[in-house]
Amino acid sequence: MLKGRLTSLRPLERSDLPRFIDGMNAEEVMWHLGPHLPISDREAEAWLERVSTNEDSKIFAICDRDGKMVGELALDRIHHRNRSAELVIAIFDEPDWNRGYGTDALRTLLRFLFEQMSFHRVQLLVHEDNERAIHVYEKLGFVREGRLRDENFRGGRYTASLVMAVLADEFRPDD
């Protein structure tokens, strides 16, 4: 388990799937992450089976201080030679947003990757209008590397996404 100040990260287990499905199917989360079609139990089980046996992915449950799962953090496209990976994060319930969980979970994972695992680069994609997420990423040292025009169709129109990444020596572990 990786321990932060407000959150801890542990591997996502099969028993977490009901909470995971509820969280990922919440309308506000689907809007920011996708949109995607709602995920079924069967799809989630097949996905977890696939990613758990795949060396280039790792999925974490984000837990609060009481051990309650408040979100998920997925590390994907882990590339050992390049020491790089991509990530996706979601705090499931809107009332839990802006409580510091996202920053703390990301900081905890990045600290581990850069300081313990010798990673060099972590990147992500974010919708250009997701100002909260972009603020959090920039606070931790991510920089905007590119803008993908019309990358997503959502809410009846095309919107852009940003490619953001942080290198080991750019990571800002402290507030």
Task: Report the interface residues with ligand COA, using CB under 6 A.
Answer: 29, 32-33, 89-91, 97-103, 126, 130-133, 135-136, 139
CB of 102 to ligand COA, least distance (A): 2
What distance in Å separates the CA atoms of residue 137 and residue 115, rounded to the nearest whole number? Answer: 18
Which of residues 38 and 49 has its CB atom nearest to ligand COA in the complex?
38
Which of residues 58 and 107 has its CB atom nearest to ligand COA in the complex?
107
CB of 78 to ligand COA, least distance (A): 18
CB of 121 to ligand COA, least distance (A): 17
Which of residues 119 and 161 has its CB atom nearest to ligand COA in the complex?
161
Which of residues 52 and 152 has its CB atom nearest to ligand COA in the complex?
152
Residue 125: how many CA atoms within 13 Å on its side-chain side? 13
CB of 91 to ligand COA, least distance (A): 4
For residue 49, what is the enclosing H or E element?
Answer: helix 41-52
What distance in Å separates the CA atoms of residue 175 and residue 119, rounded to the nearest whole number? Answer: 21
Q: Is the dihedral of CA 166, 170, 173, 175 positive or negative?
A: negative
CB of 53 to ligand COA, least distance (A): 25
Given 3-state DSSP classes, what are the helix, strand and coil percentages for the chain, each rounded to the nearest 5? Answer: 35, 35, 30
Which of residues 80 and 139 has its CB atom nearest to ligand COA in the complex?
139
Residue keyed to tokens 């995920």: 39
What distance in Å separates the CA atoms of residue 120 and residue 165, rounded to the nearest whole number? Answer: 10
Helix (H, G, I), strand (E, B) or coil at 97: coil
